[in-house]
Amino acid sequence: MDLFGNLALGLATAVQPVNLLYCLIGVVIGTAIGVLPGIGPIPTVALLLPFTFGLDPTSAFILLAGIFYGAQYGGSTTAILVNVPGETSSVVTCLDGHEMAQQGRAGPALAIAAISSFYAGTIATLVICLLSVPLSALALKFTAVEYFSLLVLGLLAAVVLAHGSVMKALAMVLLGLLLGLIGIDVSSGAARMTFGIAELGDGIDFVPVAMGLFGLAEIMANLERPPVRQVVSQKVRDLVPSVADLKAAFPAMTRGTLIGSILGVLPGGGAALPPFTAYAIEKKVSKNKAMFGHGAIEGVAAPEAANNAGAQTSFIPLLTLGIPANALMALMIGALMMHGIQPGPQIMTEQPQLVWGVIASMWVGNLMLLIINLPLVGIWVSMLKIPYRLLFPAIALLCCIGTYGIANSVFNIWLMLGCALVGYLFIKVGAEPAPLLLGLVLGPQLEENFRRAMLLSDGDVAVFVQRPISAGLLAVAALLILVLMSPTVFRKRKEALAE
């Protein structure tokens, strides 16, 4: 089926009334959790997984995807009006967005953020359409050897691109791989690291781990922070930007879209990398660098375009290779498995309605966000008036209900609480938990593909460098390690993260 045929199938699926409804629900929930600091799309998606069991897989995936890119929109609203980033990806929007709001230009800032996100979402959807088929065709040529090398590259990239210390990120990946090995070995039937606990026989469920590390741990950290939320006093007006604003913002949003589309595909890049990179580049190429940090509209357009484009193109590795580009995509893989769908290149041929329906729904969802977000600014800001001390008990209760609902197991609740304490410790020591979740999800796949490769080669490890694609992937992985070991690169990476 050609590209236009695939798009026609996707649009026909996306505009079905039930899918339109779930798309709307997803983007509204995503916007709401983007507005509220400290919740985020990862625990929200993990929380809603049990509630999608009775849904059609396509509707469920459209709902979960809408939450992800909807959160990118919501984060910008509070970043501009309250100077509180609802999402990590909106941190950089505070710099110029809130400054514009204090100057009485909150309306144009919000409008440019919404238009940039829609523009980037449209371009990113086209990028997914253009790349999905050829990448999927290439992936069909992969054997266990190539998949093992690809997984190694992905985990190394997660270490390189993670925030903070490289050694801490490496430790997180290795810890995740170890946790992924817990359970009954399918080859020998031997119990590995179960400590006699029957519930660990099937391995550690990633949903309680995600809720603990990203949900409850963040709540615990937020309770320590003073609730300083002062909305700009000026009334939001002039939501239609001027021609001058659009002319200034268009090149920036185009560059941001390009940067976000590229960085979103990289494994382990995270939500912060595209907007921060786009802002830094925009500041370098600007003829008026002094305006940045003092209300430059380019400082809103570029990062907002980058974070939305990055959020959507991160679906490319998932849909074509079955490899998650970030922690949330790891949850999406789990969602597919829970619905009986095996992620990988075969999903494009076996489930075309799901794949192209989700891709088309991204454009539909972005259109919905553009239409509903600006008129509802007052509602989103009023949500911030809810005291956090009243909000967090409800979030904690929903996390417990969602975790229990995955397998009707009280053990999962205890596991989530334990992971929450560990996640809180990680926050205190500055260790990013996202590489751990990637290691947990990819660990079993890494082991399985290594074993298959050894069976194919009669135990000869040289097979990984004898096959061209595998050798190329491992060469890139080795290059990443060598580059990272360079003192100059290491110093510049540290300076960039500090900035």
Work out how many domains the chain is built from and give that number.
1
Q: Which stretches of 82-224 are DSSP H helices?
A: 93-102, 106-139, 144-161, 166-180, 206-210, 217-222
256-285 pLDDT per residue, tens: 899 888 887 776 555 667 887 888 888 888
The residue written with tokens 């979030």 in the block is: 395
Question: Cβ neighbours of residue 45 under 8 Å, at least 6 residues apart?
Answer: 64, 67, 68, 328, 331, 332, 335
* Residue 108 burial (10 A CB sphere; 0-12, 13-18, 19+): buried
CA–CA distance, 466 with 469 (Å, rounded to integer)? 9
Cβ(75)–Cβ(35) under 8 Å? yes
Cβ(406)–Cβ(207) under 8 Å? yes
390-447 pLDDT per residue, tens: 777 877 887 787 778 777 788 888 988 998 899 889 888 888 787 888 888 888 888 8
The residue written with tokens 């937020």 in the block is: 222
Q: What is the pTM of this model?
A: 0.77
CA–CA distance, 28 with 10 (Å, rounded to integer)? 22
Buried b (16+ CB within 10 A) or exposed e, 419-454: bbebbbebbeeebbbbbbbbbbbbbbbbbbbbeebb
Cβ(34)–Cβ(75) under 8 Å? yes
CA–CA distance, 332 with 290 (Å, rounded to integer)? 42
pLDDT of residue 235: 53
CA–CA distance, 270 with 392 (Å, rounded to integer)? 25
Across 166-170, 223-227, 463-467, 488-492, the highest mean pLDDT is recorded for 463-467
355-379 pLDDT per residue, tens: 888 888 888 888 888 887 777 777 7
CA–CA distance, 366 with 379 (Å, rounded to integer)? 19
Q: Quick check: 491 pLDDT over 70?
A: no
β-sheet bridge partners, residue 183? 192
pLDDT of residue 233: 45
CA–CA distance, 299 with 291 (Å, rounded to integer)? 9
Range of the domain at 82: 3-497
Give the tokens for residue 40. 């985020």
